[in-house]
Amino acid sequence: MVAAYERVTLYGLTIVPKRRVHYGPINPKEAREIFIRGALVAGEFDTRAAFLGYNQRLIREVEALEHKARRRDVLVSEEAIYGFYDGVVPEGIVNGAGFERWREEAERANPRLLHMMREYLMQHAASDITEAQFPERIQAAGADLKVSYRFEPGHPMDGVTATVPLHLLNQLEPAQFEWVVPGLIREKVAALFKALPKAYRRHLVPPTQHVTAFLTDHGNRESGTGNRETLTTAILRYAHRAAGEPVPADALEGANIAQHLLMNFRVIDEAGRELATGRDLAELKTQLGQAAQLTFAAAEPGIEKTGIKAWDFGELPATIAFTRGSRKLTGYPALEDEGDSVSIKLFDTQAAADVSMRGGVVRLMALALKEQMRQLEKSLPGITPAAMHLRALMSADDLKHDVLAAITDRAFVGEDPLPRNAKEFENLKQRARTRLPVVRDAASRLIVTIAEEWQRAQARIGAAQKAMPQPVADIRAQVSRLVYKGFMRATPWEHLNDLPRYLKAAQMRLDKYPRYFERDAEHAAKIAAIWKRYEDWAVRLRKAGESDQRVEDFRWRIEELRVSLYAQELKTPYPVSYKRLEKLWAEISRA
């Protein structure tokens, strides 16, 4: 019923200030309009009839097309919807009871009298808004992720949002989602072309033609599923081809891309509760990655085991397929070091499993070679003088544990493939027993040499601090990245031998600085730019839980570049220069 309030007065004196009355008899025409707009157009009418729910669903579907297309020109206006009901509902209908009596009789003759047509609600056909262009689901990590769309600039959920169950989070690869969905990829490519430096952008004229050419070249990658190449890499490769010269790998870093062109992720738990949202997948993995791993492992099919002290559990498969609910998942079983034993755990990514497996194999090998480990811990030549030199960085016990960790990793595994069964483990044990004394002696000599050279470098830095503050600050930062608590285990074995030479080169740089201070400053600025490029890339990889051996190799080439520029007499194992590093970085970033 359309109600109104009336005030009753007598000779100007208010008798009843506010009384609710039926507005229909007072103003039938206006009451009818109010009823149609409020009850039928706004959908606020409580009725058992099917038409209202049907019409509201149809309106929501058309609104969804607008969210996908990101424009407000598909759904007809509210006036048009009012016009539909106004043309059907007869005069004199001013409340729900009257409407229901009329509807029941009218629908006997025409059951679909009040049902709208989809075409009536659409201002145009919207033929470009298809399931292929704007899918409702995206396949990733072996599962179908639900996708939703929202057209509301400035809102945190503006754009495309993929709903990710927590246990699948670590398995998602960022490259796939850079391509968002096919319906938005053209706009994103155009935005990235526009973000390129002018020197390369001028070769992409007219831009619309080049966007089309790019998408034609990458037509099989527009689906947004299963694509392992990043969109940025593909853009840089295309720009390289168009310009005829390499495009710097960081040419698009910090590009100002509209938020709706970046995939949004909504992470939920098993009950469907939202845990976090964001457009930085690596950051979400950092925030929830451990919880995701625990949730994933909770669904494992009985493979996990603890308290293992010998390889008595048969074959350990590299992968295992299982089902969680209706989803087929792939897990990666691996050993995990528990200190005095190892356990079998199921990981959600190959990278995490590989790291854990190596540590687990080393621990199991140490348990299998107890006598050799006791002898190693008793007699570790050089550890005492090395600990004296490095006492400002770590305690003697910390250093000893670090050296032991480096020795056991190198002797027990080294470059050998990780075992997956008892026979492979036994064969590895025989090789480990033979290698252990040799590796111990090499590590003992190395730690003494590194500690002595580090001590000399520290003394030289301290003496030059006031006279040469600029190079000293740079060298102090460099040395802190070479020798630190835990460096023996963290540094690849093949590069431990290079540390004394790098430390010596840093001292020689200070010796030469008074004569070549201008050249020193020029080289320092260039190396700092190269280092930042490497460091930013390495941080992204770590956040994403990924690794790239080529990037780590590049890190050590930067150290060799320092030697070649500041201490040529120490020589480098291979030719190195700015030009060579730029070429190598271009290859890394395009791969």
Distance CA 148, CA 265 (A): 10
The pLDDT value given to residue 26:
87
Asked whether the beta carbons of 157 and 274 are under 8 A apart, the reply is: no
Which amino acid is present at 167?
H
What pLDDT score does 289 carry?
87
- Average pLDDT for consecutive 10-residue bins of the chain (591 residues)? 83 85 88 93 91 94 88 88 94 92 94 92 80 89 89 92 92 90 93 93 92 84 55 90 84 88 93 92 89 78 85 91 75 93 91 93 96 92 94 95 96 95 95 95 96 96 92 95 96 96 96 93 95 90 81 96 96 94 85 61
Predicted pLDDT of residue 438: 95
Q: What is the pLDDT of residue 225?
A: 44
Q: Which residues, 6+ apart, have CB-to-CB distance to 394 below 8 Å?
A: 402, 485, 486
Q: In what order do the strands lie in the sheet with 274-278?
A: 137-140, 143-150, 159-165, 264-268, 274-278
Per-residue model confidence (pLDDT) at position 261: 95
The DSSP call for residue 369 is T
Both tokens of 161, joined, read: 């949002």
**C-beta separation of 303 from 320 below 8 A:** yes
Q: Which residues contact 447 (CB under 8 A, 6 or more apart)?
A: 382, 383, 386, 399, 403, 488
DSSP per-residue string spanning 117-181: PHHHHBSS--TT--TTTS-SEEEETTEEEEEEEE--TTSTT-EEEEEEEGGGGGG--HHHHHT--
pTM for the full predicted model: 0.69
Q: What is the dihedral of CA 55, 60, 66, 68, to 10 degrees?
A: -140
